[in-house]
Amino acid sequence: MAIRSDEIISIIKSAIEGFDETTESRSVGTVVEVGDGIAQIYGLSGALASELLEFPGGVMGMALNLEEETVGSVILGDASDIKEGDTVKTTGRVVEVPVGQELLGRVVDPLGRPLDDKGAIKTKRTRPVERIAPGVITRQSVDTPVQTGIKAIDALIPIGRGQRELIIGDRQTGKTAIAIDAIINQKGQGLVCIYVAIGQKLSTVAQTVATLEKYGALEHTIVVVAGAEDPAPLQYLAPYAGCAMGEEIMETGVEIGGHTVKDALCVYDDLSKHAWAYREMALLLRRPPGREAYPGDVFYLHSRLLERAARLNEDNGSGSLTALPIIETQANDVSAYIPTNVISITDGQIFLETDLFNAGQRPALNIGISVSRVGSAAQTKAMKKVAAPLKLDLAQYRSLAAFAQFASDLDKATRDQLTRGEKLSEVVKQAQYQPLPVEKQVAILYTATTGKLDDVPTPRVKEFETQFYRFLEAEQPNILKELGETKTLTDELAKSLDEAIETFRQTFLA
Amino acid sequence: MVRPTTAARRYAEAAFEIAEPDDSLDRWLEELEVAARIVGDEGVARVLDDPARPPEERDEIIGRLLGKRISRPTLNLVNLLAHRSRLELLPSVATEFRRLVHRRRGVVEAVVTSAAALTDDETAAVRDRVVAMTGAQVELESVIDPDLIGGLTVRVGDQLLDASVRGRLERLRDQLVAGTR
C-alpha cells in the first residue's frame, strides 16, 4: 500500500494546529527508592489502587501499596533509567488492555502491545484488566460442551462452556499438549481461544505459536505472552489481561467467518509461575510472607481470576468464558500450597502422571482421580450413552488389573473384563495434535464398549481405529453426518452402526 | 527530598506540641534547621556515628557544636535522638516540623520552575494566581530549569500544573503517536 507523504504531513499539521494548549494539572510524586523493579514514591496523594503511573521517559508503573505518605509501585518495563528524585505522574487510568476483534490471530504482551510481525493493533476498545466477576443473577448453569477432541477427556472428564477445569501434573507430562489440542480442535467450532503463557521460555512460546499456525488454529486464537525474561509485574498481569480479552468476547462477541462468536476459552499456562511472580512482587513490596513465603492473599489472586469464568444467561447475551488453568506440581505433590488452592477453586481437575506417560499412555491421564464436577451436564446425548459403560468398564479393569498376571487361573468373566479393559485403555490413547471430532469418538467408543474390539489383538487396536474411521468416511458417511448433527445415538443409528462395524470387522480380521 | 519516616513524624509532632504553647514555633523551626544542617554534614555525621566513641564523648561533641547556636529544648531533642541512635532522622524531623508549622498557619509551599529567571513582576503574578487557586498563604520557591525550554511549572503539594513548552511537546507527541496507532 502506497502512503502519500503529503497526506501524512497534512494530518500531522492539522493535529499540531488543533493541539489543545491548555495547561495540565496532575497529581505527582517523587521517587525516593527504586530497585528490583519496585519504586517507592513519596506524594501521589491522589493515586488509585492499580492506577497506571507515568515515570520519566514514558515508562509505566502500577500503584500497588497505597500508604499514608508513600505509594509502592511496580515498574512495567525497563527500570534502569529511573532514579531517585524522578517525578512520577498519575494518569487517571487503571491498568487496561486493548480488546476486540483485531486481537484475533495476534501475539501480544500483557499490556496488549504486539509481539509478532503483523503490525500495530488498531483496537477501538479497552478494558481494565481487573474486574469483579459476574454475579449469580447474570449466570446460568453449564449446558454446552467444549469439545477438546481428546477421547479420554470428552468421554470421561467432560468440560462445559463456562467451566473451570484444572490441568495438573509434573513437568513433561503433556499439560500444555492437552490445552493446545483443545485449541486446535476449536477450529470452526465457534469458540475463541486465548492462550496465556506465563514465565515460559520464549523459544517454547514461539514453538507453540508455530504449532497453532501450522494447524490453522491461530485465526481463532489470541496469544498473551509474559515470558521468563519479563519482569514479575508483567507476568502477574498476563492472566488478568487474557481474561479481560476473553470477557470482551463473552459480552460483546467477535466475528469469525460471518458468525458472531460469544464463547471464549482461556488457557493459563501456568498459574504456578504466576504465583511465583506474585510472590516476588509481594516480597519486594515488603508485604509479610506467609506459607511457602507466598503473601496472604495468594488464594484471592487465583480465585478472583478463575471466578471470572462464567456462562451468562440469555438476558445477558448467552456468552461464556471457560478457563483451563494449568498447574505444575513438583514430584506429584498435589498437597503443596498453590495446587490445593487452585484445586479447591476449580470445578474439577485433569491429573497427568509421569508413570503413565512413561508407560506409553498418552495423554497420561489418571482417570481414577481426575474429575469434572459440572461438565457431564453439558455432554451430548450420544457421548453420554457411550461414556457410561466406558467409565464402568475402566473402573472394574483398574480394580482387577493387579490380578492380570494370574490370567490363566482366573474365571472367564474376570478374564473377559480384563480383556475389555485392555482394549478400552488402548482406545483412549491418542497421539498429539490429532484431536478427533465428537462423532468419530462416539463411533470408536461404541465399538469398544460393545465388545467388538475384544477379539482384535491389542497391538492392532490403533490400526483398527484409523482404518475404521477411513471406512466410515468412505462407505458410511451418513452415520458420521447424522451423529454429528443430531448428537444423539438413536436405536436405529446404533443398529446401522452395528452393521457397519460388522462389515468392517470381517475385512479387517480376515 | 528526604523521605519522612513515621518515626520522624512522631518526633516532629512531639516537638510541635512542646513548641506551640510556648509560642516559640519560629525559634524551634530555625534551630532545628540549623541543627539538621550541622548534624547532616558528612564529617560531623561520621564522627557522631562512630560506634567506638563512648556516648559521653558524643554528648560533649554535640554540646560543643550546637550549644551556642540552639536553645536548651532543641538541644534536648537532638540529644534524645543521639541516645536512641536515630540522629540521622534529624533532617526529616526538621522538614516534618516545617510542614506542621505551615499547616497550622495555613501556608502552602509552591515550587515554581521556569526555563529562565522570572522577573519580580512575573513572580508576583504567579504568586497571585497560586493564592487565588489555593486560597491560602503561599511560600514560593523558584527553580530554574532550562530543560523546560519555555513556560513554567508550578508544584503545590502533590499537584503539578504544567504549562511548560516541554510538557506541551510531550503531550503533542503522545497525541500524535496515539493517532497513528
User: For the residues of A83-120, what is the DSSP string, one character each?
Assistant: -TT-EEEEEEEE-EEEESGGGTT-EE-TTS-B-SSS--
User: What pairing do the DSSP bridges indicate for beta strands B137-144 and B107-114?
Assistant: parallel
Cα gap A33→A39, rounded to integer Å: 6
How many CB atoms are located within 10 Å of the residue A81 CB?
A: 12
pLDDT(B125) > 80: yes
Q: Is A293 left (phi over 0), alpha (psi -120 to 50) or beta?
A: left
Which run of H or of E encompasses B98? Answer: helix B90-105
Task: Give SS3 for A410.
Answer: coil
Looking at residue B4, what is its pLDDT? 59
* Contact with chain A for residue B172, Cβ under 8 A: yes
Looking at residue A21, what is its pLDDT? 63
For every residue of A220-252, DSSP letters joined together read: GEEEEEE-TTS-HHHHHHHHHHHHHHHHHHHHT
Task: Give SS3 for B166.
Answer: helix
Residues of B in contact with A25 (CB under 8 A): 159-162
CA distances from A437 to A146, A185, A480, B176 (A): 12, 8, 10, 49
- Select from B3, B157, B162 the Cβ nearest to the Cβ of A24: B162
What are the b/e assignments for A328-357, b being 16+ CB within 10 Å?
Answer: bbeebeeeeebbebbbebbbbbbbbbeebb
User: What pairing do the DSSP bridges indicate for beta strands A107-108 and A221-226?
Assistant: parallel
User: What pairing do the DSSP bridges indicate for beta strands B107-114 and B151-156?
Assistant: antiparallel
Residues of A in contact with B12 (CB under 8 A): none
Among chain B residues, CA nearest to A123: B181
* Contact with chain B for residue A16, Cβ under 8 A: yes
Please indicate whether, in this complex, the C-beta atoms of A89 and B160 are within 8 angstroms of each other: yes
Looking at residue B181, what is its pLDDT? 43
Cα gap B57→B76, rounded to integer Å: 16
A253: which 3 cell numbers? 462477541
pLDDT(A387) > 90: yes
Cα gap B96→B111, rounded to integer Å: 17
User: Which residue in the block uniquely carries the three cell numbers 452402526?
Assistant: A497
Q: Closest Cα of chain A to B158: distance in Å? A: 5
Task: Give SS3 for B152.
Answer: strand
Q: Is residue A373 flagged as an active site residue?
A: yes
What are the b/e assignments for A219-257, b being 16+ CB within 10 Å?
Answer: ebbbbbbbbeebbbbbbbbbbbbbbbbbbbbbbbbbebe
Residues of A in contact with B171 (CB under 8 A): 19, 24
**Residue pair A282/A295 in contact by the 8 Å Cβ criterion:** yes
Instruction: Give the pLDDT mean for A75-90.
Output: 90
Cα gap B11→B14, rounded to integer Å: 5
Cα gap A254→A69, rounded to integer Å: 45
- Tens of pLDDT, residues A223-278: 999 999 999 999 999 999 999 999 999 999 999 988 999 999 999 999 999 999 99
Cα gap A216→B53, rounded to integer Å: 76
pLDDT(B178) > 70: no
Among chain A residues, CA nearest to B96: A69
B73: which 3 cell numbers? 529544648
* Contact with chain B for residue A91, Cβ under 8 A: no
- Residue A311's φ and ψ, nearest 5 degrees, are -120, 115
Cα gap B161→B169, rounded to integer Å: 15
Q: Which of A131, A304, A373, A415 is catalytic?
A: A373
Please indicate whether, in this complex, the C-beta atoms of A26 and B176 are within 8 angstroms of each other: no
| Cis amide prior to B4 (ω within 30 degrees) | no
- Tens of pLDDT, residues A321-331: 999 999 999 99
Q: Which residues contact B18 (CB under 8 A, 6 or more apart)?
A: B73
- Tens of pLDDT, residues A266-323: 999 999 999 999 999 999 999 999 999 999 999 999 999 999 999 999 999 999 999 9
* Contact with chain A for residue B99, Cβ under 8 A: no
Cα gap A150→A260, rounded to integer Å: 26
Task: Give SS3 for A156.
Answer: helix
Residues of B in contact with A29 (CB under 8 A): 158
Counted across chains A and B, CB pairs separated by less than 8 A come out at 59
- Among A24-38, A335-349, B126-140, top mean pLDDT goes to A335-349
E-only strand ranges, A306-430: 310-311, 320-328, 348-352, 371-372
* Contact with chain B for residue A486, Cβ under 8 A: no
Suggest the residue from A10, A14, A28 to mutate for an interface test with chain B (most B CBs closer than 10 A): A28
B44: which 3 cell numbers? 560531623
User: Which residue in the block uniquely carries the three cell numbers 479420554?
Assistant: A152
User: What pairing do the DSSP bridges indicate for beta strands A87-94 and A24-35?
Assistant: antiparallel
Residues of A in contact with B180 (CB under 8 A): 120
Residues of A in contact with B13 (CB under 8 A): none
The number of angstroms, rounded, from the C-alpha of B121 to the middle of its chain's C-alpha atoms is 26
- Tens of pLDDT, residues B57-110: 888 888 888 888 888 888 888 888 888 888 888 888 998 898 889 888 888 888
| Cis amide prior to A411 (ω within 30 degrees) | no
* Contact with chain B for residue A87, Cβ under 8 A: yes
Looking at residue B158, what is its pLDDT? 82
User: What pairing do the DSSP bridges indicate for beta strands A87-94 and A51-54?
Assistant: antiparallel
Looking at residue A1, what is its pLDDT? 52
Tell which residue, A247, A261, A221, A237, has the closest CA to residue A127: A247
**Residue pair A149/A444 in contact by the 8 Å Cβ criterion:** no
* Contact with chain A for residue B119, Cβ under 8 A: no
Helix, strand, coil shares of chain B as percentages rounded to 5? 65, 15, 20
ipTM of this predicted structure: 0.70
Q: Which of residues 401-420 of A touch B (CB under 8 A)?
A: none
Task: Give SS3 for B163.
Answer: strand
* Contact with chain B for residue A19, Cβ under 8 A: yes
Suggest the residue from B160, B174, B177 to mutate for an interface test with chain A (most A CBs closer than 10 A): B160
Please indicate whether, in this complex, the C-beta atoms of B162 and A40 are within 8 angstroms of each other: no
* Contact with chain B for residue A5, Cβ under 8 A: no
The C-alpha angle A401, A402, A405, rounded to 5 degrees, equals 95
**Residue pair A61/A53 in contact by the 8 Å Cβ criterion:** yes
- Tens of pLDDT, residues B145-174: 888 888 888 888 888 888 888 888 888 887
- Select from A25, A45, A46 the Cβ nearest to the Cβ of B161: A25
pLDDT(A342) > 70: yes
Instruction: Give the pLDDT mean for A480-507.
Output: 93
Instruction: Give the pLDDT mean for A214-224.
Output: 96
Looking at residue A20, what is its pLDDT? 63
Among chain A residues, CA nearest to B164: A23
Please indicate whether, in this complex, the C-beta atoms of B181 and A42 are within 8 angstroms of each other: no
- Select from A44, A120, A121 the Cβ nearest to the Cβ of B158: A44
Residues of A in contact with B160 (CB under 8 A): 25-28, 87, 89
Residues of B in contact with A12 (CB under 8 A): 176
Tell which residue, B2, B178, B4, has the closest CA to residue B100: B4
- Residue A315's φ and ψ, nearest 5 degrees, are -60, -25
Looking at residue B1, what is its pLDDT? 43
* Contact with chain A for residue B171, Cβ under 8 A: yes
Cα gap A132→A313, rounded to integer Å: 18
pTM summary value: 0.86
Mean per-residue pLDDT of chain A: 92
Q: Which residues contact A382 (CB under 8 A, 6 or more apart)?
A: A438, A439, A442, A483, A486, A487, A488, A489
- Select from A33, A46, A69 the Cβ nearest to the Cβ of B4: A69
Among chain B residues, CA nearest to A12: B176
Paired strand residues for A188:
none
Mean per-residue pLDDT of chain B: 84
Residues of B in contact with A26 (CB under 8 A): 159-160, 162
Q: Closest Cα of chain B to A15: distance in Å? A: 7
**Percentage, residues of chain A above pLDDT 90:** 80
Please indicate whether, in this complex, the C-beta atoms of A25 and B179 are within 8 angstroms of each other: no
- Select from B6, B158, B175 the Cβ nearest to the Cβ of A43: B158
* Contact with chain B for residue A65, Cβ under 8 A: no
Looking at residue A263, what is its pLDDT? 96
